[in-house]
Amino acid sequence: MNLNERQFGLRVSGLGDRWFTAPLPPVSTLRGRLYDGWTSDDLAYVGGESLITETVGLGGMAAAAAMPLQDHSAGTPAEMIRQTERMYRITLREHPVYRIPALAYRGVPCGIDVLRVAGTGIVPAIHLGATLRDGGHAGALLLLPPIEPFQQAAQALSALSPPTTPSPSFTSHA
């Protein structure tokens, strides 16, 4: 997953170098917290590691492990947990090493599945730094990317082969 000033895009294993893209929502619509003195008018979209860490189960995918970010992201501890629980619905497995104490040490959700995103309508939660247009940092934001690239990728994958039953999770939890 990546973005620039105008578009969010993703590439999917098995589909070569093709990018699936859609326009970004206005930065003014993102939930987050800015340092005193800054407004959404001062911000610009900047891609970076935030979009990569989510693909391995960190960042917004593991919000329940990052309670200090609650006022920058989901708002409350309960919502941070709900956000992470939603991410399990769109991933293939739980990480065997990275675990979340607040969720009885479940592994973080990892392996975003575009078929599950397209089927559920749940998009990956992405924690972004609030970046200033002229450089610098002004806080943190929660990006819920547009679903269209996931839907496009799911259609492309579905065209490659007949539908299959998803493989079972490799970890168990209570």
Say yes or no to pLDDT of 171 above 60: no
Distance from C-alpha of 166 to C-alpha of 118, rounded to nearest angstrom: 14
Write the DSSP string, 104-137. TTEEEEEEE-HHHHHHH-PPPPEEEEEEETTSSE
Residue 97 burial (10 A CB sphere; 0-12, 13-18, 19+): exposed
Helix (H, G, I), strand (E, B) or coil at 147: coil
Write the DSSP string, 64-77. GG-GGGTTTTTSSH
Q: If DSSP states are collapsed to H, E and C, what string results for 76-95?
A: CHHHHHHHHHHHHCCEEEEE
More confident residue, 117 or 58: 117
pLDDT band at 174 (very low <50, low <70, confident <90, very high): very low
Cross-strand partners of 127: 142
Q: Hey, what CATH topology would domain 2-160 get?
A: v583 fold (3.90.1700)
- Residues 5-25, mean pLDDT to the nearest whole number: 94
Q: Which bin fits 171, alpha (ψ -120 to 50), beta or left (φ > 0)?
A: beta
Is residue 25 within 8 Å of residue 135, measured between CB atoms? no
Return the percentage of the chain with pLDDT > 90, whole number: 53
- The 10s digit of each residue's pLDDT in 84-104 is 999 999 999 999 999 999 999
Domains in the chain: boundaries: 2-160
DSSP category for residue 58:
-
- The 10s digit of each residue's pLDDT in 106-154 is 999 999 999 999 999 999 999 888 889 888 888 888 899 999 999 999 9
Sequence-separated (6 or more) residues with CB below 8 Å from residue 152? 20
Return mean pLDDT, the chain: 88
